[in-house]
């Protein structure tokens, strides 16, 4: 039996290919601009390949947000799977994606008159956004209707947490939130920032002097929030698969995991964080 609803999100949600295929989630690939060429994130180029190009020439690496046309294309494909669509976007305070998805929704009214589309601002980034989309997709797999998908997705949105440890502060000026001179000084001093999200924005949570200290801070923060409650966790990395696997193993042994998976940190975010970044997205049942 076909689902009543299907879910669309963007490539910044950092969902694994396995999860995308299992729950038939539509992905809007954000564009990467590298050495004068345009790539669709995770379609024309893998995250690892993108990071390799980034390391060759960081200054030529940039990103381009999705357009209404990109979302409309995703809606067309999604409408073949179900009559109703839930589109989960990156935080509207960080990107134009939410607005573009809503413009595409209006355009779809004429082209897809039998399709009902809801656009939900995840108020988050990376796999934290992914967990919001995944909650909706899992409800869809159980045959729930669009209103129920929105409800369960909002529940996860209100409790999911994003944390990231940056192995370098060198590129953070690209977020537009701190001056380039500050990141240069921070890089010389080997300051490694820890970031989180709050009210739809990325915020600094602290600093660490080395990777071990940074990882311990991530786990300490998660432990304070979830204790021994069952927890859903995504481990993210930017071109650091071995570190991610070690972090996954540690989480598996120290926490009561209802769900635990590893994914690559989208290069769309990575252009401002650099390689070596490790992150967590999590929420407790």
Tokens standing for residue 123: 């108020």
Measuring CA to CA, how many Å separate 108 from each of 29, 66, 104, 278? Answer: 19, 16, 6, 38
Residue 248 has pLDDT above 60, yes or no: yes
Residue 228 has pLDDT above 80, yes or no: yes
pLDDT at 212: 96
State the Cα–Cα distance between residues 236 and 163, nearest whole angstrom. Answer: 10
pLDDT digits (tens, 9 = 90+) for 49-108: 999 998 999 889 999 999 999 999 999 999 999 999 999 999 999 999 999 999 999 999
**Strand-pair partners of 257:** 231
pLDDT digits (tens, 9 = 90+) for 171-208: 665 565 555 644 554 554 577 889 999 999 888 898 89
Give the mean pLDDT of the chain: 92
Measuring CA to CA, how many Å separate 53 from each of 30, 32, 57, 98, 261? Answer: 17, 11, 6, 28, 26
Which residue is listed with tokens 């990071």?
51
**Could you tell me the domains of the chain?**
5-30+65-157 (3.40.50.10440), 161-284 (3.30.1180.10)
Which residue is listed with tokens 């998660």?
222
pLDDT at 182: 47
pLDDT at 1: 46
At how many degrees (to 10) do helices 68-79 and 97-111 cross? 50
Q: What angle do CA 10, 16, 19 make, to 5 degrees?
A: 95
């Amino acid at each position: 039996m076909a689902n009543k609803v299907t879910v669309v999100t963007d490539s910044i949600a950092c969902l694994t290919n396995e999860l995308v295929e299992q729950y038939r989630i539509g992905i809007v690939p954000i564009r990467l601009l590298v050495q004068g060429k345009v790539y669709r994130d995770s379609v024309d180029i893998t995250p690892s390949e993108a990071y390799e190009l980034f390391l060759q020439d960081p200054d030529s690496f940039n990103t381009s947000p999705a357009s209404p046309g990109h979302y409309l294309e995703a809606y067309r494909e999604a409408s073949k799977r179900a009559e109703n669509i839930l589109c989960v976007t990156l935080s509207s305070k960080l990107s134009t994606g939410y607005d573009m998805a809503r413009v595409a929704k209006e355009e779809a009214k004429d082209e897809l008159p039998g399709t009902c589309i809801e656009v939900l601002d995840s108020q988050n980034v990376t796999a934290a956004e992914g967990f919001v989309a995944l909650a909706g997709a899992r409800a869809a797999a159980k045959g729930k209707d669009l209103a129920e998908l929105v409800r369960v997705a909002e529940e996860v949105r209100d409790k999911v947490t994003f944390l990231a440890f940056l192995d370098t502060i060198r590129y953070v000026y690209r977020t537009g939130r701190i001056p380039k001179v500050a990141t240069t000084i921070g890089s010389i001093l080997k300051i490694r920032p820890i970031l989180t999200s709050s009210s739809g924005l990325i915020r600094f949570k602290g600093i660490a002097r080395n990777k071990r200290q940074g990882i311990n801070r991530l786990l300490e923060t998660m432990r304070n929030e979830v204790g021994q409650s069952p927890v859903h966790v995504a481990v993210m990395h930017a071109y650091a698969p071995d570190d991610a696997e070690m972090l996954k193993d540690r989480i598996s042994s120290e926490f009561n995991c209802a769900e635990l998976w590893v994914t690559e940190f989208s290069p769309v975010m990575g252009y401002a964080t650099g390689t070596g970044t490790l992150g967590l997205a999590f929420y407790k049942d």
